[in-house]
Amino acid sequence: MASRVEIINQGGFRSDGRRQFELRNIEIDLSQQGQADGSASVSHGLTQVIVSVFGPREAKIRSHTFHDRANLNVEVSVAAFSTGDRRKRSRGDKRLLEFAATVKSTFEPVVQTNLYPRSQIDIFIHVMQQDGGLLQAGINATTLALMNAGIPMVDFVCAITSGVHSTSPLLDLTTLEENDVPNMTLAMMPKTQKISLVTMETRLHVDRFSEIVKLATQAGLAIHREMKVAIIGRAKVLTESLESGNRQSGSGMEVEEKYE
């Protein structure tokens, strides 16, 4: 079936000016959001997701309490202005519940929940803008928010969307591309390069699958470098703030001693 839109032009460029394997700009903000223990805002191109993490803390519902580990509670909300589709999605919307369940299952083997028995870690994902790669943005932002909250994890989780147009593999898809080509989202752990998630809502030919997985894994490593820089930068800011506070506290004590 012929494509409805021109995904790649004769010059080899996509609709937003990128090459086949080129990723969109990634913007990461790890500054504190409200009362959250950790938060992260991640943008892949025009797709933006904000994640807030609370906990570990006591579970409000007894059935959500496990004696040997913490329970991960994931909730997803979508801003009405995030897409051209103005249909309001409630928290009980099937697609949002599937999104939350996918994030939960991706992070349960990665977060060291055994360190926090009988507790709950709440992950709130807020979708601010949508233009493809929503699940990848949600997973990447969740990784950073959990780390920002100081919750132990065995590794980063880095996600990327990929697809195939005719015989041409593509990385980091926009909505236009997702609607027109077979695609999947892959999440990987860069330390071991193990894959923690592969999800597809469209058919992808088996001959193309291994090639796409290899390309997506390489893209995940590139995203990991950006995420690692952001985490190290955030750690430096917090360390400098702590050292500055200690110096001020120390100078205050010296003043008190001087006037005693």
Looking up tokens 């994890």 gives 153
Band of residue 88 on the pLDDT scale cut at 50, 70, 90: low
The runs of H, that is alpha helices, within the chain are 94-107, 134-148, 175-178, 206-258
Tell me the per-residue pLDDT of 246-257, one tens digit each, with 9 for 90 and over.
777 665 545 444
Gap between the Cα atoms of 129 and 139, Å rounded: 15
Asked if residues 178 and 190 have their Cβ atoms less than 8 Å apart, the reply is no
Check pLDDT > 80 for residue 83: no
CA angle in degrees (0–180, nearest 5) for 77-227-237: 100
Q: Please, what are the domains in the chain?
A: 28-244 (3.30.230.70)
pLDDT at 252: 52
Average pLDDT in the 39-52 region? 98
Tell me the per-residue pLDDT of 186-244, one tens digit each, with 9 for 90 and over.
999 999 999 999 999 788 878 888 899 999 999 999 999 999 999 999 999 989 988 88
Gap between the Cα atoms of 101 and 214, Å rounded: 25
Q: Which residues are within 8 A (CB) of 173 and not within 5 positions of it... i.e. 6 or more apart?
A: 132, 133, 161, 162, 163, 181, 183
Cross-strand pairs, 162? 171, 184
Whats the size of the chain, residue-wise?
260
Give the pTM. Answer: 0.90
Pairs from 29-36 (Cβ < 8 Å, separation ≥ 24): 30/144, 30/148, 30/230, 30/231, 30/233, 30/234, 36/145, 36/149
Average pLDDT in the 58-84 region? 88
Q: What is the CA radius of gyration of the chain?
A: 21
Asked if residues 139 and 156 have their Cβ atoms less than 8 Å apart, the reply is no
Check pLDDT > 80 for residue 2: no
Check pLDDT > 60 for residue 132: yes
Average pLDDT in the 70-81 region? 94
pLDDT at 45: 97
